[in-house]
Amino acid sequence: MAVHELEGIILQLAASGKGILAADESQTTIGKRFASLHVESTVENRRSYRELLFTTPGIEAFINGVILHEETLGQRNREGVLFPDLLDEQGILPGIKVDKGLIPLNTKEKITQGLDGLAERLVIYKNLGACFAKWRAVFTISNTLPSSLAIVANAQALARYAYICQDNGFVPIVEPELLIDGNHSLARCAEASEATLHAVFEELHKHQILLKCMILKPSMVIAGNQHMPPSSINEVAHATLKVLQHTVPTDVPSINFLSGGQTPEQATAHLNAMNKLKTAKQPWLLSFSYGRALQEPALKTWNGKAHNVKAAQRAFYKRAKLNAAACKGLYQTTMEAEDKEAELAFV
């Protein structure tokens, strides 16, 4: 393991006031998003959309890394430049989603596959320019779920993945996502989150993962999307910080949240509230690794039409800028309606 190589990567990924764009949607997922706008999910449409994001002027001020899908890693822009090289030129690190999706673990829960051949694939990805990776585990919440089987099995897979990554010079993003779907309370989410994160870090310790050279990408502690009343912004912030303080070692440099079914505005407001509440006992950077919460306004504005590219880039730039502000606790909800500065700053 080349520790100095990992340290150089994490130094950039954990830069204060910046976050990571998750642009690693599978063809099935991005196909659904395109279909909602009546845009055909062709190779060229997917390439054009991601080029729109990656070539947004000035985005490097707010984004320090991009998680790519395997298809995108080998694609080029209109000038023939590979996307990883294009990102590198802007000072943005290219990463890669390495898991192979979900398969049934039992009748109600899933486990993530993709460990077989991972080391060999990382060699290929590294030659294409990637230097960090992501693996997503998914947990369902109910009165009885996640089960101990699902927690332990997925925690072990996350730890094994992280070990293979670090052994091959990749910084691993460890993503245990507790799904927002359901009618569970905030308290039940907190209980399930704490149990899951305890197990994840127990397995990371057993596998001797270098915690200072990894990123945690957790879901926020939030009531299910069918629960009434919904969690308030401050409730989510307090509950999330409490769980993290109980479970995440101080060696972890950065916690980059997933947005997990929240609206773009909710995801930004929750991140902002946490950064305003954070204390010295919570030393990690609190940042974002959002997919839909960063992209949704841009995707809707683009709508598959070339003449909408500039307007879509403005929408993406604004969303990234607001989330970067939230990393410092400087976001205000009024900026959603009247952030003229972002419009003016965009070139």
What whole-number distance in Å separates Cα of residue 164 and Cα of residue 291?
25
Residue 19: per-residue pLDDT: 98
Residue 2: per-residue pLDDT: 85
Query: Which residue in the block uniquely carries the two structure tokens 């990567």?
Result: 9
With 50 as the cut, is the pLDDT of residue 284 above it? yes
In-domain check, residue 345: no
What whole-number distance in Å separates Cα of residue 254 and Cα of residue 303?
34
What's the number of domains the chain is made of? 1
In-domain check, residue 343: no
CA–CA distances in Å: residue 117 to residues 55, 65, 76, 100, 114:
32, 25, 26, 11, 8
- Exposed, middle or buried by CB within 10 Å (0-12, 13-18, 19+), for 114? middle
What whole-number distance in Å separates Cα of residue 57 and Cα of residue 52?
10
In-domain check, residue 76: yes
Query: Which residue in the block uniquely carries the two structure tokens 């690190």?
Result: 93
3-state secondary structure of 255: strand
Interval 25-35: pLDDT, tens: 999 999 999 99
Q: Is the dihedral of CA 215, 155, 196, 259 positive or negative?
A: positive
User: Stretch 324-335: mean pLDDT, rounded?
Assistant: 85
Ranges assigned E (strand) in the chain:
19-23, 63-68, 93-97, 102-104, 110-112, 132-139, 171-178, 215-216, 254-257, 285-290
Catalytic positions: 175, 217
Contact present, 220 and 190 (Cβ < 8 Å): no
For the chain, give the mean pLDDT: 95
Ranges assigned E (strand) in 13-122:
19-23, 63-68, 93-97, 102-104, 110-112
Residue 58: per-residue pLDDT: 97
With 90 as the cut, is the pLDDT of residue 79 above it? yes
**Packing angle, helices 148-167 and 118-127, rounded to 10:** 50
Domain region containing 181: 3-337
In-domain check, residue 97: yes
Q: What is the pTM of this model?
A: 0.95
In-domain check, residue 347: no
Residue 332: per-residue pLDDT: 83
User: Stretch 238-245: mean pLDDT, rounded?
Assistant: 98
Q: Which of 194-203, 212-221, 317-326, 335-344 has the lowest mean pLDDT?
A: 335-344
Q: What secondary structure letter does DSSP report for 128?
A: T
In-domain check, residue 342: no
With 60 as the cut, is the pLDDT of residue 347 above it? no
In-domain check, residue 246: yes
CATH number of the domain at 117, please: 3.20.20.70
Interval 2-39: pLDDT, tens: 899 999 999 999 999 999 999 999 999 999 999 999 99
User: Stretch 190-194: mean pLDDT, rounded?
Assistant: 98
Percent of the chain with pLDDT over 70: 95
In-domain check, residue 344: no
Interval 132-170: pLDDT, tens: 999 999 999 999 999 999 999 999 999 999 999 999 999
